[in-house]
Structure 1
Amino acid sequence: MIIVRLLFTTVLTISAIYAGLFVWNGIFHDPWTRDAHVRADIVEAAPRVSGEIVDIAVRNNMAVRKGDLILTVDQTDYQLALEQAKAARDEAEASLEIARQQSSRYDQLKQKGSISVAAVDIINADLATKSAEAAVKAADAALKVAQVNLDRTEMRSPVDGIVTNLAADTGDYATAGVAIVAMVDTNSFRIDAFFLETQLARIRTGDRARVRFMANGEVVQGHVSGIAAGIAYSEDTSTTLLQAPEPSFQWVRLAQRVPVEITLDARPVGIPLVNGATTTVIIEPSVVDDRTLWRKLMDRIDWWRGSTGGTAPPAPAATHRNRHGGSGATPGS
């Protein structure tokens, strides 16, 4: 009876260990993370000229196409400036015509041998003509500037997007260069997935990925389009433009989280894409680890020993097979 109990206990223990290893291998076979979010470019549109807003052609959360009218700034001052520029150009052209006639008259008198025309008069007439020509060019440029400023009173969408958090209203004063409307660029949606640096060895650009949206559990296919070349950390003060993800606690060391960009091969059907929405990402590595389950476990234990300051021997080389065929020997991870 005791032998039966011992055998039963042994079988149960071995089964539990095998089941635990099977589950562990299933979880860690493909790199995955729950720390992933939908991301899109946010365009902060600003008017190019200042003035009172007299009309708003969009509403909050409205989809717009590139070139669609967003709002209109009061055109009165810019229309008057255009009329003044036209008048200045007409005046400059008249002055040029007078100067040309004067210069032509002096040239004709000189050719007839008139002694009443001095050489200095001819030179001065030619210089006056050149000055009038330059004035016409300046007037043309001023006219173009006035026309451009008038056209810019109509603020148009720079991208295909969705107007978000619209706070501007008719009667507000718009200042040139100050953002007044935010738009989510609908052509820029992608996934920012933060993977532990210890997972990067099995992630390659082009690897297929499965993106599960937290909102409804829908799964969409995608692929890895890039891995961040740098992240900000407390000791690095060279720039403030890099992302600064908080490291997550993993045993003794704090493993950094590195942004991996996922391009969606399709859009979700059941939910709209929202910048900042939460997703789970699972990467399907382009190489397959052929190590046995036991070898994987032992290599992981060796890695843990090394990460805590131990003197673990280096992991043996493991054979990896490409999903599309072919094989090669790469260091185990």
Structure 2
Amino acid sequence: MSNMTSNEPIEPEPSASPPAVSAERRRAFRLVVGIACLAALWAVWQVWTSFVAYTDDAYVTTNFVTVAPQVTGVVVSVNVANDQEVRRGDLLAVVDKVPFQLVVDQRKAAVQDAVANHKLVSDELKTAQDRLTAVTAALQQAGDDQKQVALTGADMVSAKQREQAAARDAVDKASQSVVSQDAVVAQAKAALALAEWQLSQTEIRAPADGAVNNLSVSVGDTASAGKALVGIVDAAGWRIIANYKESYIRNLETGKAAWVWLDTHPWRLYRARIEGVSRGISRGPDQDGILPYVAPTTDWIQLKRRFPVTLRLVDPPSDLTLYMGSDASTLIFP
């Protein structure tokens, strides 16, 4: 039987699958690369925050002046409109003057009466003093005569001495009346001064430059002493309050330069300087409000404590309008 050559191709044996150890190496490599990237990002962040202090937890503020009348009465005129710019001393509103003018007239009459009574007792004192002077002179003369007249002179001197004692009593009483009337006059003048001051307070004037905000008073309303009637956004106290994490503040010093982004005027940075760094905050919102409180949480995330840093714009443009309570972002290079 002859040998026959087969023409069928011989298939190569399938190669072995990559070992499992290669897949594990790739996973380990990716893990190492990921950790390295995170470490690099952390390092970059640490370097960045060592040179730049940034926060978007900032806002614009100024002093809000609440104007309260010093007297109670009916408002008879309102001289400003809502959002109107005012200057210090501008008339805001007027309280009815009539009751206060009547009190002033009454106090003036009381002063005149007290002054007239004071003149009467002063005249009485002058008369008593003149009488005492005359009696003293007569007593001196009687003493001189006693040296020449024995018994009769002695009786005369005794009578003059009694007259002198009576004159002294009259002077003392008149002096007391004058002192008492001095107090009456002073009290009457003080009451008049108070009445005149209260009359002047019926004109409610702006204590500072600024803008009237949320005006709600109308003619016919009752103005109550000590109760806020008009609010003014102070034009001179504009500043930026930026809440910085406690890890930043060690490098922040008064006078350092800063940059401010205003949400009311986006796409522009304004130069500023640090005016102050708060040295204390409240740990809870239920304090007395004297220490500032900055909530350390955003939703459920616990954040680092933040301290208010006050910034003041440097040479702001004359046409820049700031708005109390608007948002801002700040950038400081420690």
**Partner of residue 314, structure 1:** none
2:277 is the alignment partner of 1:224? no
Match of 2:219 in 1: 170
Q: Specify the alignment match of 1:157 in structure 2.
A: 206
Instruction: Please state if 1:65 is matched with 2:87.
Output: yes
Amino acid at match of 1:126: S
2:231 counterpart of 1:182: yes
Instruction: State the match for 2:157 in structure 1.
Output: none
In 2, Cα distance between the equivalents of 1:25 and 1:129?
84
The 1:269/1:120 distance shift into structure 2, 3 A limit, reads closer
Q: Which runs of 5+ in 1 are unaligned?
A: 1-9, 286-333
Q: CA deviation at 1:266?
A: 2.7
Gaps of 5+ in 2: 1-29, 136-159
Give me the TM-score of the superposition, normalised by structure 1.
Answer: 0.74
Tell me, yes or no, if the aligned pair for 1:44 and 1:181 is still in contact at 8 Å. yes
Residues 1:147 and 2:169 are matched in the alignment: no
> How far apart in 1 are the matches of 2:64 and 2:301?
38
Q: 1:227 to 1:95 in 2, by over 3 A?
A: same
1:119 CA drift (Å):
3.1
1:6-155 superposed matches below 5 A:
24=45, 28=49, 29-113=51-135, 115=163, 118-155=167-204
C-alpha contact 1:67 1:156 (8 A) present in aligned 2: yes
Equivalent residue pairs, number: 274
TM-score, with structure 2 as normaliser: 0.74
2:328 match? 279
Asked whether the 8 Å contact 1:216–1:270 carries over to 2, the reply is: no
Query: Greater relative contact order (Cα 8 A, min sep 6): structure 1 or 2?
Result: 2
Tell me the equivalent position of 1:291: none
Matched-pair contact (CA < 8 Å) for 2:296–2:302: no
Q: Report percent identity of matched pairs.
A: 31
Partner of 2:264: 215
* 2:308 partner letter: P
Which residue in the other structure is 2:315 paired with?
Answer: 266
| Matches of 2:59 and 2:327, distance apart in 1 | 5
Q: 1:35, 1:193 within 8 Å by CA — same for their partners in 2? A: yes
What is the alpha-carbon distance in structure 2 between the residues aligned to residue 253 and residue 73 of structure 1? Answer: 52
Q: Which moved more, 1:174-183 or 1:114-123?
A: 114-123
What are the superposed Cα offsets for residues 178-219 of structure 1, whole Å, 9 maximum, x if unpaired?
111111111000000011112223322211000011123221
CA shift for structure 1 position 109? 2.5
- Spell out the pairing of 1:196-215 with structure 2 (5 A cutoff): 196-215=245-264
For 1:226-305, list aligned pairs within 5 A: 226-234=276-284, 239-248=288-297, 254-268=303-317, 271-285=320-334
CA deviations 1:134-153 (Å, max 9, x no partner) are 21111111111111111111
Distance 1:79 1:278, change over 3 A: same
Distance 1:88 1:30, change over 3 A: same
Change (3 A) 1:20 1:270: farther
Could you say what secondary structure the match of 2:265 adopts? coil
Q: Give the letter aligned to residue 53 of structure 1.
A: V
Asked whether the equivalents of residues 131 and 167 of structure 2 are also in contact (C-alpha less than 8 Å), the reply is no
Larger CA Rg, structure 1 vs 2: 2
